[in-house]
Structures are given as structure tokens and as C-alpha cells.
């Protein structure tokens, strides 16, 4: 059995893996796990029970691949792996991808590690919060989002964007220097999440916009577009597209975040 990647491209870490595998010609089977389907399958009522139709992430079947029931996940023969960063590194090592992705140079590699360690609760945390608040909160409450709430989450994101520019990007073409690394790819997919919610953070940030173009060029603009098509349509999401128990899950998450 070949390499399988369990993905939903609405998810930022899944897009990082997808782009990384495709741009490096890593052969894999795309196993579509549909986040918005939630637990419907576990209750035995999949909408349109077609063979090969994508399944939700809370099924017993997916639990066998990742007991945390989160995407992305990898299966390579009988070996399974969760966590996008671990999976990216596994693929980089197994397929010996070009050195610039995860440089063998001690200090360059440390720069990649530094960004990957920082980004999780900062760029990812604040970008996801804006996305969930702007796209999902109005669906959960049936009320338009209050300008104060939106301003609050946008401000939190703006703080980390400034840190990203000043500490990590500085005046370099890429985070590590002249070549793209895993850090840039992970950063790009996360920054596209707020864009999918309608906050085009690149508009007033020329340095970030130029960096985005370089990253897209390095991996292929068309591939980037394809990977981001779903999230760039997320603004049009309606409550009936999301499993009720997932809406409930998100509600708790959002309430926790704002407390
Ligand atoms: N730290 C994990 C995060 C994985 C994660 O949170 N995945 C989200 C999608 S972006 C998910 O599967 N959420 C489903 C859930 O929490 O029920 C990684 O980097 O892979």
C-alpha cells in the first residue's frame, strides 16, 4: 500500500502538506476527509452513500488513522502519523526533498524550527480565530458580527503580523534567506485563512504581498490557487452545510477563546 494523506483543503496544515507533496512530486493517494461532515457517518446516515464519497473526520474509520481525529494525517503502509509539522518533516526526509525546504545548515534549520515553533499559537492561533469569528460566529448566532468583536480579533492578528514581518521576514526574500523553506509554506497557508474570511491582510502590507508572490511562484501559482480555491469561497458558507454537532463544537471553541 502506498502513501496516503488524509486531507481537507479547508484546513491550513492540510494545504501545506498538499502543496509540499505536489510541488515535490511525492506520490500519494488523496484521502478526502470532509471536516464539515463531522459525525454524520458515525451515526450511519451519510448524505449520498456513494462508494468512495468523502467521509467525515469523526468516523471510527478515521480514528484508526488518527485517534485525535484531526486532519491532516498520514498512512504509509502500517505506519500512521498525525501533526502536520511531523508529517512535513517525514516527507522531506523520506523523499529527500531539496535541501532548502529544511536546510541541513545548522543555523538555517534553526530558523525554520524557530518559525515553526512560534507560528502555532501566533499566526495560526490568531488567523484561525479571525476566521472562526468572522465566518462561523454569525452562522452560530444568526446575528451579524459586532464591529467591536471584529475589531478585537483583527487587532490581535495585526499584532502577530507585525511580529512576523519584523522578526521573521525582515528584508529577506524568504524567512531563512534567499530560498523557500517549510517555514514560508506553513506561513502562507495560515495567512490565507483570514483572507478566506474576507480580511485581505496583504492589501496594506506590500512587503507581505511581495513575499506571498515569491512563495507562490516558488511552488507554482496554479497549484497554490487550486489548493486555496475552497477556503477562498468560505465566505459563502451557510449553516446547513455544517453538521449540527460541529457547529456546537465550534461554538464552544469560540466561547472559550473570547472568555
Ligand atoms: N496541530 C495539528 C492541528 C490539526 C488541526 O487542528 N486540524 C483541524 C483542521 S485545521 C481539525 O482537524 N479539526 C477538527 C476538530 O478539531 O474536530 C497539526 O498541525 O496537524
pLDDT tens digits for range 38-56: 654 444 444 444 556 677 8
Cα of 45 from ligand 1 centre, angstroms: 24
Take atom 3 of ligand 1 and give the residue whose Cα is closest: 83
Cα of 96 from ligand 1 centre, angstroms: 26
**CATH code of the region 3-97:** 3.40.30.10
**C-beta of 11 in contact with ligand 1 (< 6 A):** yes
What residues in the chain have per-residue pLDDT under 50? 40-49
**C-beta of 72 in contact with ligand 1 (< 6 A):** yes
CA dihedral of residues 27, 31, 36, 40 (deg, nearest 10): -170
**C-beta of 119 in contact with ligand 1 (< 6 A):** no
Q: pTM of the full predicted structure?
A: 0.93
Question: Domain locations in the chain?
Answer: 3-97, 106-258
Is domain 106-258 given the CATH code 1.20.1430.10 in the classification?
no
Reported ipTM: 0.98
Q: Would 3-97 and 106-258 be classified into the same CATH topology?
A: no
Could you give the CA distance from residue 179 to residue 174 in angstroms, rounded to a whole number?
A: 6
SS3 of 190, please?
helix
**Which residues have CB under 8 Å from 242's CB, separation 6+?**
36, 38, 139, 250
Q: What pLDDT, on the 0 to 100 scale, is given for residue 44?
A: 46
Q: What pLDDT, on the 0 to 100 scale, is given for residue 51?
A: 56
Q: What pLDDT, on the 0 to 100 scale, is given for residue 254?
A: 74
Cα of 72 from ligand 1 centre, angstroms: 7
Take atom 10 of ligand 1 and give the residue whose Cα is closest: 11
Q: What pLDDT, on the 0 to 100 scale, is given for residue 42?
A: 42
Q: How many helices (H) and strands (E) does the chain have?
A: 11, 4
Amino acid at each position: 500500500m502506498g502513501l496516503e494523506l488524509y486531507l481537507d483543503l479547508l484546513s491550513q496544515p492540510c494545504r501545506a502538506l498538499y502543496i509540499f507533496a505536489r510541488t515535490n512530486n511525492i506520490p500519494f493517494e488523496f484521502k478526502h476527509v470532509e471536516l464539515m461532515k463531522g459525525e454524520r457517518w458515525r451515526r450511519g446516515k451519510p448524505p449520498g452513500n456513494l462508494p468512495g464519497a468523502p467521509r467525515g473526520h469523526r468516523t471510527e474509520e478515521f480514528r484508526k488513522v488518527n485517534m485525535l481525529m484531526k486532519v491532516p494525517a498520514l498512512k504509509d503502509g502500517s505506519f500512521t502519523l498525525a501533526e502536520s509539522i511531523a508529517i512535513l518533516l517525514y516527507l522531506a526526509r523520506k523523499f529527500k526533498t531539496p535541501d532548502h525546504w529544511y536546510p541541513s545548515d545548522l543555523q538555517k534549520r534553526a530558523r525554520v524550527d524557530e518559525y515553526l515553533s512560534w507560528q502555532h499559537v501566533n499566526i495560526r492561533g490568531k488567523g484561525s480565530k479571525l476566521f472562526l469569528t468572522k465566518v462561523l460566529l454569525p452562522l452560530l448566532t444568526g446575528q451579524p458580527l459586532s464591529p467591536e468583536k471584529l475589531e478585537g480579533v483583527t487587532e490581535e492578528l495585526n499584532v502577530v503580523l507585525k511580529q512576523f514581518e519584523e522578526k521573521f521576514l525582515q528584508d529577506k526574500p524568504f524567512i531563512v534567506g534567499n530560498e523557500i523553506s517549510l517555514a514560508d509554506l506553513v506561513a502562507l497557508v495560515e495567512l490565507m485563512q483570514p483572507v478566506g474570511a474576507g480580511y485581505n491582510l496583504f492589501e496594506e502590507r506590500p512587503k507581505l504581498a511581495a513575499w506571498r508572490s515569491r512563495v507562490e511562484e516558488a511552488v507554482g501559482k496554479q497549484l497554490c490557487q487550486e489548493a486555496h480555491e475552497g477556503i477562498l469561497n468560505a465566505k459563502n458558507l451557510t449553516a446547513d452545510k455544517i453538521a449540527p454537532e460541529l457547529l456546537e463544537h465550534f461554538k464552544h471553541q469560540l466561547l472559550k477563546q473570547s472568555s
